[in-house]
């Protein structure tokens, strides 16, 4: 009724055709919410389950990293960036110089 009586653009959440434009939250459409789902929204994907799966992958990756560090398997020499010995000597000379 209000949209029909004004020249203002009426935005709404869940009003259907009773407004000029409707907005929804991506979290509702993608299914990232847990618990209450707004009745005006339709869930198109179950991202909550994907986030749960990704969290398990994160935990596994960090666990592997910790195990590699503790065992000495990481870092390997190939992961280190080496400085040119001449540059290192110059650096050390300047560090040790008295100001």
DSSP collapsed to 3 states, the chain? CHHHHCCCCCEECCCHHHCCEECCCHHHHHCCCCCCCCCCCCCCCCHHHHHHHHHHHHHHHHHHHHHHHHHCCCCCHHHCCCCCHHHHHHHHHHHHCCC
pLDDT value of residue 58: 98
Residue range 26-72, pLDDT digits in tens = 888 899 888 888 888 888 999 999 999 999 999 999 999 999 999 99
Would the CA dihedral through 48, 49, 52, 53 be positive or negative? negative
pLDDT value of residue 41: 84
pTM tops 0.85: no
Q: Decide which of 16 and 97 is more confident.
A: 97
Asked if 19 and 10 count as a contact pair (C-beta separation under 8 A), the reply is yes
Percent of the chain with pLDDT over 90: 57
Round to whole Å and give the CA distance between 51 and 76.
32
Dihedral (Cα; 14, 20, 25, 31), 10-degree rounding: 60
């Amino acid at each position: 009724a209000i949209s029909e009586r004004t020249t203002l653009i009426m935005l709404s959440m869940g009003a259907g055709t009773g407004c000029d434009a409707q907005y929804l939250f991506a979290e509702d459409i993608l299914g990232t919410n847990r618990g209450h789902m707004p009745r005006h929204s339709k869930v198109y994907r179950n991202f909550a389950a994907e986030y749960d799966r990704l969290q398990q992958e994160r935990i596994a990756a960090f666990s592997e990293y910790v195990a590699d560090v503790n065992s000495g398997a990481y870092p390997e020499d190939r992961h280190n960036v080496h400085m040119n010995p001449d540059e290192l000597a110059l650096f050390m000379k300047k560090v040790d110089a008295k100001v």
